[in-house]
Structure 1
């Protein structure tokens, strides 16, 4: 199989006219050649932070504070999750996952509430879909053991030492929210030696130094931070120090569209389109332990094909900038997962 068009090749997403050659689900070559295709061939996205269970409560809680919305155990989302039926949660999650797949997301890193049963519910929601999920269980060691790792709410919420030790012993990833409300929980989170941090909106200089020195990747979710009035993550400062990936966070607050997240990050923060596309693809894949996110030989062929002749994209002078700041779901021609 091959896919023709303007191919965004390699880690710099260099636009080249040609084709991607795929065998047995892997990219075997990127060939430069003349083509009549107007397609733009991109790596599919990796959404590095989601709470897909919140799909049962889209746009609930207008006007509430961050703690009132999501703080465990009695924030609005947790109350709604406890009262919703399993069938309702699985159906709602499946619809969000289906939308993510259709809009070019190959994989997501999901913080899954509900213990072991919550992990089983999202596995059921994923059944038959092509999108992958690295599922991080929450609340208990048993949830971590049933999942791909552990996703902690934040160091201010509980003592996670025992769960961190168990996750380390299981050789699984440990992610934790930190620095979302203020800087106070960043040092305790870093003391847990996490696989990655989520949010980091309010780092102080010594936090940035620790992140760099200790090599801790960060997932930023700028739309969510704006909606909850948390502030704006210093993406440019973080990119100078570590791997930064992009996530859409709570489905309750935001559509799980990586197109929207990329546009927002690119227009809000002083970072290039190439950096943002890297955050939305290979950087998330690296965090998830996946061999995708770039179009180059030996990578898995997780591809997003856009219509470069759509009314929205036709005439773009800078292809990467157009993909990041302008493209949307309506421009998707094909998703290859």
Structure 2
């Protein structure tokens, strides 16, 4: 392991991703200095992505030919994905999750929050799968798995009778509580809010009143827009109500949801949200790279933070013509220009 090194280029630094020509010095995995430079090599340095909502175990059901409702496909305990997971061996599951994590690393993701099915065994499998990889999962268990994880990843409150008990127990243990809410309608948002969650996932159909409460309580919302379209719980840019949430002051995070349907590629995700929902590139890139506030994780490039960034080589192709680095990263998903991943 190299204990000290430096990287020079145009870096997106600080909370606002200010583009600066700098040399970043890293010692034992920590950014110890960011030194201003007059001239740098044609490299762009961007904070690594944090994928704030995944189900990577669903890799074992990737692109299985299927049609059906949200309930028939992914709702526990009898959705199609749960049937496939129940028939999958531990070794196959671990290999599939490892393969998906390699894809995540390749596309610039250094961490992710996973709703892990399968109880304690499911949590154990993801821990084993990620043991020697440079991507770090925040594991949120289910069906007893939450006792062995960083917290609980609760399905819709309409899908389980134990959600309140689980959330209360997690709170007492100072663990993270994440809940799916408002994916197909607004009816489960209020009950989810009553559990005092650390974050909500989807809120695809949250009402103005619910959005106001979410903002007032400073609860982050993870939007998963490609998944919403593929599962047909939305057909347009009004759901999820991203602009209403942003206008109200809701903290937006970005997730890719089920690997069964969507590749966990954050560049593809933010390009989609930018194109379909017209969310500014600056806003999206901050949401996708700032880290995971419910877990106290920061990917911001600043002195004292862990080094979590990737480097793009713009010496070839057309990227060096960009007039706005952040817009180019968001709109053009230039993974082919990756030359380093420092997680």
TM-score by length of 2: 0.94
Residue in structure 1 matching 2:320, options 305, 314, 334: 314
CA contact (8 A) 2:22 2:40 kept: no
Match of 1:243 in 2: 251
Q: Does 1:193 pair with 2:196? A: yes
CA contact (8 A) 2:215 2:251 kept: no
Residue in structure 2 matching 1:115, options 101, 109, 119: 119
Q: Does 1:2 pair with 2:9? A: no
Match of 2:306 in 1: 300
Task: Give a deviation string over 1:165-184, Cα, whole Å, max 9, x none.
Answer: 11111110000000000111
Give the match's secondary structure for 1:333: strand
Q: Does 1:220 pair with 2:223? A: yes
Match of 2:75 in 1: 71
In 2: Cα distance, 1:101 partner to 1:117 partner: 24
CA contact (8 A) 1:222 1:261 kept: yes
Match of 2:160 in 1: 158
Match of 1:43 in 2: 47
Residue in structure 2 matching 1:24, options 24, 28, 33: 28
Aligned pair count?
Answer: 333
Q: Does 1:257 pair with 2:265? A: yes
After TM superposition, list the pairs within 5 Å mapping 1:77-156 onto structure 2. 77-140=81-144, 143-156=145-158
Task: Give a deviation string over 1:85-112, Cα, whole Å, max 9, x none.
Answer: 1111000000001111122111000000
Would you identify which runs of 4 or more consecutive aligned residues in structure 1 move more than 4 Å?
none
Q: Does 1:233 pair with 2:237? A: no
Residue in structure 2 matching 1:204, options 188, 195, 207: 207
CA contact (8 A) 1:312 1:327 kept: no
Match of 2:181 in 1: 178
In 1: Cα distance, 2:321 partner to 2:276 partner: 24
Instruction: Give the superposition deviation at 1:314.
Output: 3.3
- Distance verdict in 2 for CA 1:158–1:218, change over 3 Å: same
Instruction: Give the superposition deviation at 1:247.
Output: 0.5
Gaps of 5+ in 2: none
Give the match's secondary structure for 1:314: helix
In 2: Cα distance, 1:237 partner to 1:4 partner: 39
CA contact (8 A) 2:178 2:197 kept: yes
Instruction: Give the superposition deviation at 1:61.
Output: 4.2
Q: Does 1:60 pair with 2:64? A: yes
Residue in structure 2 matching 1:334, options 309, 327, 340: 340
Gaps of 5+ in 1: none
In 2: Cα distance, 1:94 partner to 1:321 partner: 31
- Distance verdict in 2 for CA 1:326–1:34, change over 3 Å: same
RMSD value, Cα: 1.3
Match of 1:275 in 2: 283
Identify the range of structure 1 (320-329 vs 129-138) with the bigger mean alpha-carbon deviation.
320-329
TM-score by length of 1: 0.96
Identify the range of structure 1 (55-64 vs 218-227) with the bigger mean alpha-carbon deviation.
55-64
Match of 1:324 in 2: 330
Give the match's secondary structure for 1:295: coil
CA contact (8 A) 1:139 1:152 kept: no
Task: Give a deviation string over 1:271-324, Cα, whole Å, max 9, x none.
Answer: 211110011011x4223321x321111111111111223425231111010011
